[in-house]
Structure 1
Amino acid sequence: MSGFGQPSGAFVASFELRGGQWFDWHEHPAHQLAWAEHGVLQVHTAEGTWVLPPSLGLWLPAQTRHTTGATANARLRSPYFWPEHTPATPAHTTVVAIDGLSRELINYLAEGAPETETRSCAEHLLLARLAPVRVPVLRVPVPRDERARVVAEALLADPARAESQQQWGRIAGASARTLARLWLAETGLSFEQWRTQARIQAALSLLAEGHPVATVAHRTGYATASAFTAAFRRHLGVPPSSLFPGRQR
């Protein structure tokens, strides 16, 4: 991609996020580049969920409803750009690579450099460097029905839990058949499909934080690293190492 348009008056907002902290659902009149200087972000939109280490940012077009949180302590440092000055930017949510120069440009803009030709050049160069990256989007909607929600929240808190649907039904106070019907009706996924998505989502966060594959496998309910890698590849089409190279050991 050769660039995202001609910026004018861009600004950068910085926030310290504690692990597990989330902003409420909201939207902005300006385009946002969600990025963490350190730590790992998760961003939810109606399209799904993205997991973002410092090497990745998420371009959110103006008026995109979203919520942002951190899996561990993180510093969110997000540039915002006014739509009327960036007509060539993507109209859809887009993951972009954040390299060393992009990081320095964001930090320079965050320091409050005055509105000069130099700042304008920095804004333009940052947009020009935002190359799209193909990253999987996950859908892990939480059911509304209280019985199914109890199960969903338990699995999101500990994706390694291995109870069968029949066992979960007894825990939630519903038959396995009722639970299966509720799950499909309220999430669009079968129970097993949803649990796999939840495990992969948790795995992406752990991988982005730098945990070894063997640790991630154990913490997401897989007996071995090879079983986890095979499931990851089946679901996303690529091995874990291709998304966060150099982090798996």
Structure 2
Amino acid sequence: MYAAGGVLAVHTERGTSVVPANRVAWTPAGFTHQHRAHGDTDMRIVFLTPSLARFMPDGPAVFLASDLAREVVLALTGPGNYDDTTPGYSRSARTRLVRVLVEELREADEQPLHLPEPRDDRLRAVARMLSEDPADNATLAEFGKRIGAGARTLSRLFRGELGMTFYEWRTQLRLYHALVLLADGHDTTHTANACGWANPSSFIAAFSAVVGTTPGRYRTRTR
């Protein structure tokens, strides 16, 4: 899946993958998934045959979309594929294009825009509170007091179950909410405040480090 504009959130049993306009999401066969569009989203989908899918990861992944990968996806999903009045690609040409896409994705780095889904009830409680208010700056110990769990226990659960620290997970969640707000037209200052960053500068630095562009440029690109 590719968002030529806007933001996609793809949810599977393993968590939520955030797909802004410069990323491609891969979901293997057999994974029940849901997706939600945020903002004015132009969603494109390319299906792979089993013979090509075997070269892709076994689980859901998000890749940086190279210029070539983006153009191939747009070509494979353009008007020629559904409008009889528009010239389309032959079957052999489509097969070659899909092979190019797979090769591009195999060479691309997987991107850290995945928010793992907690299973433990205590982690779910923390996740629910932060999803409702991403700007909540409570420490892990403070969250623990709210739900009746120790900070050490929660810290161990975050590392063991989700493979990241609480602070890494909260940053991912905040970036997800930031992408949604930017896609909906909110400016950098509002987004930074709503997602818990102390100031726009720290938000811009965190956003750019993960997404690869500034919030302002990203907002312009998705509109």
Same fold (TM over 0.5): yes
For residue 63 of structure 1, the aligned residue among 29, 40, 45 is: 29
Cα–Cα, structure 1 residues 171 and 245, in superposed 2: closer, same or farther, change >3 Å?
A: closer
Q: Which aligned pairs between 1:90-101 and structure 2 lie closer than 5 A?
A: 90-92=55-57, 93=61, 94-96=63-65, 97-99=69-71
Q: Does 1:170 align with 2:145?
A: yes
SS in 2 for 1:136: coil
> CA separation of 1:117/1:168 partners in 2, compared to 1, >3 Å: closer, same or farther?
closer
Partners of 1:172 and 1:44 in 2: CA distance: 26
Structure 2 unaligned spans of 5+: none
Aligned counterparts of 1:117 and 1:71: Cα–Cα separation in 2: 27
Report the 3-state secondary structure (helix = DSSP H, G, I; strand = E; otherwise coil) of the residue aligned with 2:112: coil
Contact 1:51 1:204 (C-alpha < 8 Å) held by counterparts: no
Does residue 51 of structure 1 match 2:22?
Answer: no
- CA separation of 1:49/1:78 partners in 2, compared to 1, >3 Å: closer, same or farther? same
The count of residues paired between Structure 1 and Structure 2 equals 208
Higher helix share: 2
Task: Note the alpha carbon deviations across 1:168-195, whole angstroms, 9 max, x for none.
Answer: 1222122333333333332232222221
**CA distance in structure 1 between the partners assigned to 2:7 and 2:219 by the alignment:** 15
Structure 1 unmatched runs, 5+? 1-33
State the shift of 1:225 in Å. Answer: 0.9
Structure 1 residue 185 corresponds to structure 2 residue 160 = yes
Q: Find 1:157's aligned residue among 127, 132, 138.
A: 132
Aligned to 1:195: 170
Alignment CA distance shift 1:122-1:70 (3 Å): farther
Query: In the aligned structure 2, how far is the partner of 1:174 from the partner of 1:59?
Result: 36
Distance in 2 (alpha carbons) for counterparts of 1:59 and 1:140: 15
Separation in 1 of the partners of 2:49 and 2:134?
40
- Looking at structure 2, the residues matched to 111 and 202 of structure 1 have their Cα atoms a distance apart, in angstroms, of 34
Task: After superposition, give the CA deviation of every residue in 1:5-45 in whole Å (9 maximum; x if it has no partner).
Answer: xxxxxxxxxxxxxxxxxxxxxxxxxxxxx134654212356
Q: Distance in 2 between matches of 1:225 and 1:51?
A: 22
Change in 2 beyond 3 A, CA 1:38/1:68: farther
* Residue number in structure 2 paired with 1:10: none
Quote the offset at 1:90 in angstroms: 4.3
Query: How far 1:52 sits from its partner (Å)?
Result: 3.1
TM-score, normalization by structure 2 = 0.68
AA of the residue aligned to 2:8: L
Identify the residue that residue 230 of structure 1 maps to in structure 2.
205
